[in-house]
Structure 1
Amino acid sequence: MKPTEDNVATNDWKVWGYEHMYTNGEAKGLTKTFIDYMLSGDVQDSLVGKLGYQSIKSMKVDRTADGKVTDVK
């Protein structure tokens, strides 16, 4: 098994994790604007890959904090 983008996206390669952004409560103002930008197509479809990361949009599974993996619908 190799750590390819497809194997990560399907959880066949088990060693992966989300990058996180934390806020103190619900994001508002410029913080919300920044997080929305980071999740936008402009960033997820281009910049994320150029920086060597995998876009969350390519994931076919979701993993909870306790490790439960479910298919993305």
Structure 2
Amino acid sequence: MSEYRTDDEERLKRLRERGVLNDEETEWIQAMLLRLAETEAQNKRLREALLKANGRKPTMSTKLRDALYE
């Protein structure tokens, strides 16, 4: 994911150098890129927590499950 962030920052820099963006627009885009990075980090933490939570779920043994379904 960091390769995308680097590409985005380079592209923003090129747009700024060409005069396509003013200071206010540049700050706005930088803030969006920061929020995106924070969201990606939060998404990663939530996925890891979900995997941990699913791993702790008690599972029934095959014999017990078969007996309950009979």
Structure-1-length-normalised TM-score = 0.26
| Larger helix percent | 2
